[in-house]
Structure 1
Amino acid sequence: MNMLDKMIGAVAPGWAERRAAARAEAARHEAVKNVLSGYGKGYGRHGASQTKKSMVMWQTPVGDADADIHQNLTELRARARDLHMGSDIVAAAHKGLRTNIVGTGLRLKPAFDSEFLKLSKSQEKKLRDSIYREWSMWAETTKCDAAGLNDFYELQSLAFLSTLMSGDVFGLLPMLPRKHSVYDLRINLIEADRCDTPPNVALENPDRVQSGVEVDGDGMVIAYHFSNQHPGSDKVSVSPNDWVRVEKYGALTGRLNVIHLFEAERPGQRRGIPVIAPIIESLKQLNQYTEAELMAAVISAMYTVFVKSPAEEDDGMYGMEEPETENQYQEPIPGTGGDNIKMGRGAIVYLDPGEDVEFANPTRPNPDYVAFVNALLRQIAAALELPFEILTKQFTSSYSASRGALLEAWKMYRMRRSWLAKSFCQPIYEEWFVEAVTKGRIDAPGIFDDPAIFHAYTRAEWHGPSQGLLDPTKEVDAAVTRIAYNFSTAERETAELTGGSWEQNIEQRAYEKARLADLGLDSAGAQNVSPKDEMDPDEVNPAEEGGEEQNAKENQN
C-alpha cells in the first residue's frame, strides 16, 4: 500500500477498499492474459493447447517411470497374459515374433581375436574346435537348465516369449554340481512377478528399491529381490512368501549373478512392460467384437421351430392333453434350473398358451466385418512394428509388395535378435567360458590377466534362422555379387541365407569332393569313366549280345 492509499484510507476507508479490490481484479485479469498468451504460443496453440475444445478436457498428469510404469505393471501383465491365452491375434503376434527372431535358437560362432592373441593357424583351429565341442556338450543338452527341462536354445525361446508377455524375465546363473555333468553352471529362469519389493523394504528404503530392483546412490542396479513363490500361486494362502536379495554381481569374483532381460523406453525405468501394452484396449475390444460376431453367426445358423398351442386351461376335460412344454432333446442352460429355453440345431420347442418368442434379426454374416477388422489389425500391426501381411500371414499382393513387407519386418527382427544376443546369449557364454577354462576344458592362456585378453577370447557372433527366400535364384545371385564386390562376406551371407556356417560348409564340401573322387564320380554324381571300361573282359554286355544275334539273323536273311 502506497502513501496515497494510506491517506485515503485514513479519510475514507470505504473508498480505499474499493481501490484495493479494483487493483486486485486488474492484477487477476493481467495474470489470466499472460497465461492465455503463453498458451497461444508455440505448442500452446497445438498439442499443448488448454483452450481448444478438442484439447481442454485432456488433462494428463506428469509422472516418472515409477509412477507411470512400475505402479501399473501387475495389471498390465495380467491383462497381457489373458489376451495371449484367449485372443488368437495376440497369440499369433507373440509366437510369430518368437519364431522369426529366435526360431530354433541363436547359434554360437566363436569370433576370438586371433591377431591380438597371437594365435597361429593351427592354434586358432584347435581353439575353435575345442569351443564348439565343449559348448555343444553343455548347450545342446538339458544339463544347462536348472530345472533340467530345456536346452540352451529352448531357454532362449522361453525367455523371449516370457519377455513379450510379461515385459521382462530374469535369469539366475547358479553353480549347481550334479552327477554325470561336466559343467556346474545352470540357467534358472524366473518369471517377472516373483521380482518385487518386500513389504519391509518398501517401508525402509522406498527410493532405492522399486518393483524389486535395488540401486545405489548413483542409480546403478546392484541387487534384485525375489520371492520363493509366484504371487498368483495357490500356495501363497498357505505359506507366506520368503524373500531373497540377490546381488547382480558377485562381491568376491565380480561374476554376473542375474540377467535381467527387458527393453527400456524411458530413463530411470527399471522394469519392462508387455509388448502389447499400448494396444491392450484395442485388442480386448477387437476380441469382444469377434466373439459377438461369431455368436451372432451361430444364432443365425440355428433352425428352431416354436409351436404355440391355442388350448385353454379346461381343454383337458374334453379329452385333449396339455402339450408337453419340456423338450426332451434340449439340455437346460446351466445355472437356470432348466426353466429357460435355448435355441438348437433343428430343435422343436413347445410353448404354453400365451407365450411368445421374438428374436432380433442378426443379419449375419456382417458384410463390413472383414474390412473393419482388417483396418484395426493394420493399426495393431503398426504398433508391433510388423507389416499387416506378416501379422495375419496373408501374402496376397505382388512379389515386390511381399518382399517389401518381409524386408521391413526383418529390420525389427534383426534389432531384437541383436538385443537378445547381447543381453542373454553373450553374458551366459562368457560365464560358461570362465568355467570351461578354470576346469581345464579349454586352453586360454592369460585370460584372467587382462580384461582386454578376456574380451578377445570371448568374442562371439550369434546367428539365427534365415529369413527365407521368395525367389532363391535372384537372392542367391545378389549374395554372390555382394561377396564378389566385398560388400559382404561369405560367412555372413551363409548365415543370412541358410542360417548355417560357411566354415563348416567348406569343410564338409571338401570331404564330399574327396569322397566323390574316391568313387570315381564328378561333382554332379556321374561316373568319370564309361561303364564299358569298367566291365569284366569275360562278361558279355547284354546289349551287345542282342546286337550280335540281330546281325546274324539279318545275314541269314
Structure 2
Amino acid sequence: MGMFDSLLTAIAPERAVKRAAAQSAIRAINSGYSNYGASLHKKSMRGWTWHGGSPKEDIEDNLRVLRERSRDAFMGVPLATGAIKTMRTNVVCGGLTPTPQIDNAFLGISDEEAQKINAQIAREFGLWANKPTCDADRLDNFYMLQQLVFTGFLLNGDAVAVLQNKKSPGVPYDLRLRIIEADRLCSPSFMDVLSPCEINGRHVEKIVQGVETDAEGMVVAYWICDRHPLASTAAAGLAASHWTRVEAYGAKTGRQNILCLMQRDRAGQVRGVPLLAPVLESLKQLGRFTDAELTAAVVSAMFTVFIKKTDQSDEIPFGEMLPPEVQVDAPDKTSVELAPGAFIDLNPGEDVQFADPKHPTTGFEAFMNAIVKQMAAALEIPSEVLYKQFSTSYSAARGALNEFWRTTGMHRDWFADYFCQPVYETWFREAVCKGRIKAPGFLVDPAVAAAYMNCTWNGPARTNLNPKDEAAAAQMRVNSGFSTAAQETAQMTGGSYEANMRQRKSEAALKREVDEIAGAQAQQQTAVPERDGGDPGKDE
C-alpha cells in the first residue's frame, strides 16, 4: 500500500475500500493476453487499428475489391504472376489423370477381370475427357479445364463449374462442364439477403454473395448472373441482369449440379479468399518500388546536353531525337523530354539543372529478397521455388522442394476430391445408365457404386535434384514397407505402377522374341557349310 492509499484510508475509509476493489479488478483484467497481444494500454499496441467481424464482414463484404486487385496484380506484377503460375504448374500441370482402381475384393471379382474393367473404364473416360466436347464452350478438354478452374480458384478465391447435359452428334456422352467466373456467382440485384423473404415467389432464408443457405446454414442453391457484373454492357446498363437459381443437389436424384471450389478459413464462410489476398499490399508496394528503380536506372543511363544560346533560333535543335511531325507525345511547350545522346536548345536566360537520381540500386536485390521471403512464407511457396533459383546449397534446395511438395500435395488432394472425383462420378453414372460400362448393382447399392468408382488421380512428378539417390531411397521405402510401389511411382514419375508393369511385361516378351530371332540368325552366320566330294588330302 502506497502513501496515498494509507492517507486515503485514514481520511475516507469507504473510498479507500472502493479504490482497493477497483485496483484488484484491474489486476485481474490485466492478466494473460491482456498484458501482451490484447493489451489496450501499452504504447506499442495503441497504434494498432483493429476491428473484428463475422466471416461476412471480414471476408464476403471485401471480396469484390480483393478479386479485382488480385487479378490486377496477376496482370501487372511479375512476382504475383509467378506465384499463381508456380502453384498452377506444380499442382495441376497438364491435368490430373485418373487411374481407375475398382475394389474387386469387395465386388468379388478376380484380379484379371478387375484389370480388364479398369482398362475399359479408362478407355471410356478418354472418349469424354480427351476432346473439347466435354466443355460447354467447346474450347478445352477436361485436362485444360482443370488448369482454368485451378487458376480461377487461385485468383478469385473460388471457382464455379456447372454440370450440364447436352446431346451432340457423334458424342457418346451428354455431360458438359460450364466454367463460370466467381464474379457471376452473386446475390440477386447485387444485394445480400440476411433475413427470410420472398424472391420470385420463392421463400429464401439467406443469400450471401450468391450462396443460398437454409435456416440451419446448409447450402441449398447458388444464384448465377447471366452476365459478368464488370462487363461493359452491365456497367452501361444496356440490358437488365437476370439470375438463375441452381440447386446444389438434385431434389430427386441427389446428383450434384454445381461445384463451388473453395477452401474455408473460418466456420460460416461461404466464399473463398484469393491466394494473394494477404500479400496484396506488399506486392503493390514492391511493384511500385521496382518501377521507380527501373525508371531511375533509365534516367541515369541517359546523356542529355542542354545548350544555352545568347540569341533565339528557329532552327531544329542539333541532335534532336524525333522531328516534330512524328512526336509520340502530345506537343507541350512547357516540358522537355530526356533521351539518350540528345541535345536540347534553351531560350536565352533559361537554365536547368540535370536531374541526377541517387537511388541505392546496390541494395535493391537484398531488400527485395527480404520482403519476398515474408510473402513466400504467407503463400507457402519457398523463395527458392518462387524465384526458380537454387543457388544456396543442395540441402537447402532439397528442403525447400520438400516443403513445397507438402503444399502442392495438399492442394492436389483437395482439387482431386472436390473437382476431379465429382466430375468422374457424374460421368460414371451416365456411362452405367447408357450401358457403356457394366456394373451390376451400381444403381441399387451405394457401397457397390463407390467400389466401382474408386479412382486415384496422378499429377506432375516430384522434382528430383539427385535422381539416383531418390530412386535408391524410394526402393528402400518400398522394401521396408514404409511405402508402396504405386505411391513411389506416382510421386517420382506421375505414372501408374500397374500400367508400367503391364508395359514391361509386354516389352519383355517382345525382347525375348527379338533375342531368339537374333540368336538364330547369329548361329546361321557362324555355321561352316560342309564341302561335297571325298577326302581333300587324297590324290585322285
Question: How far 1:464 moved relative to its partner?
Answer: 0.5
Residues 1:91 and 2:100 are matched in the alignment: no
TM-score by length of 2: 0.88
Task: Give 1:288's aligned residue.
Answer: 288
Q: Tell me which of 206, 209, 212 is aligned to 2:210.
A: 212
1:430-469 mapped onto 2 (5 Å cutoff): 430-469=425-464
Greater mean alpha carbon deviation, residues 166-175 or residues 106-115: 106-115
Task: Give 2:356's aligned residue.
Answer: 361
1:239-318 mapped onto 2 (5 Å cutoff): 239-311=239-311
Question: How far 1:34 moved relative to its partner?
Answer: 6.3
Residues 1:117 and 2:112 are matched in the alignment: no
Q: What's the CA shift string for 1:76-121, capped at 9, x where partnerless?
A: 0000000000000110110011001111111101122111111123
Question: How far 1:31 moved relative to its partner?
Answer: 8.7
TM-score by length of 1: 0.86
Letter in 1 for 2:284: K
Question: How far 1:535 moved relative to its partner?
Answer: 5.8
Q: CA, structure 1 residues 455+533, in 2 after alignment: closer, same or farther (shift >3 Å)? A: same
Task: Give 2:525's aligned residue.
Answer: 534
Residues 1:408 and 2:403 are matched in the alignment: yes
| Distance in 2, Cα, partners of 1:340 & 1:326 | 18
Question: How far 1:124 moved relative to its partner?
Answer: 1.1
CA RMSD, Structure 1 to Structure 2 (Å): 2.5
Greater mean alpha carbon deviation, residues 92-101 or residues 502-511: 502-511
Identity of aligned residues (%): 42
Residues 1:51 and 2:44 are matched in the alignment: no
Question: How far 1:353 moved relative to its partner?
Answer: 1.0
Question: How far 1:393 moved relative to its partner?
Answer: 0.8
Task: Give 1:172's aligned residue.
Answer: 162
Residues 1:510 and 2:505 are matched in the alignment: yes
| Distance in 2, Cα, partners of 1:220 & 1:347 | 69
1:352-391 mapped onto 2 (5 Å cutoff): 352-363=347-358, 366-391=361-386
Q: Which has the larger radius of gyration?
A: 1
Q: CA, structure 1 residues 391+35, in 2 after alignment: closer, same or farther (shift >3 Å)? A: farther
Task: Give 1:499's aligned residue.
Answer: 494
Partners of 2:320 and 2:343 within 8 A in 1: no
Residues 1:480 and 2:471 are matched in the alignment: no
| Distance in 2, Cα, partners of 1:521 & 1:347 | 80
| Distance in 2, Cα, partners of 1:355 & 1:532 | 101
Letter in 1 for 2:374: Q
Question: How far 1:497 moved relative to its partner?
Answer: 1.1
Partners of 2:192 and 2:209 within 8 A in 1: no
Letter in 2 for 1:534: Q
Greater mean alpha carbon deviation, residues 140-149 or residues 196-205: 196-205
Question: How far 1:451 moved relative to its partner?
Answer: 1.5
Letter in 2 for 1:358: Q
1:176-255 mapped onto 2 (5 Å cutoff): 176-199=166-189, 202=192, 205=196, 208-236=206-234, 237=236, 238-255=238-255
Q: CA, structure 1 residues 171+29, in 2 after alignment: closer, same or farther (shift >3 Å)? A: farther
| Distance in 2, Cα, partners of 1:276 & 1:134 | 39
Q: CA, structure 1 residues 155+27, in 2 after alignment: closer, same or farther (shift >3 Å)? A: farther
Task: Give 1:317's aligned residue.
Answer: none
| Distance in 2, Cα, partners of 1:327 & 1:35 | 81
Partners of 2:296 and 2:357 within 8 A in 1: yes
Q: CA, structure 1 residues 514+454, in 2 after alignment: closer, same or farther (shift >3 Å)? A: same
| Distance in 1, Cα, partners of 2:450 & 2:459 | 22
Look up the SS of the partner of 2:44 in the other structure.
Answer: coil
Length, aligned pairs only: 506
Task: Give 1:329's aligned residue.
Answer: 321
| Distance in 1, Cα, partners of 2:339 & 2:378 | 41
| Distance in 2, Cα, partners of 1:28 & 1:215 | 51
Partners of 1:333 and 1:340 within 8 A in 2: no
Question: How far 1:273 moved relative to its partner?
Answer: 0.8
Greater mean alpha carbon deviation, residues 448-457 or residues 170-179: 448-457
Q: Unpaired runs of 5+ in structure 2? A: 1-11, 198-204, 530-540
Question: How far 1:404 moved relative to its partner?
Answer: 1.0
Letter in 1 for 2:225: S
Letter in 2 for 1:171: A
Task: Give 2:515's aligned residue.
Answer: 520
Q: Unpaired runs of 5+ in structure 1? A: 1-21, 314-320, 539-557
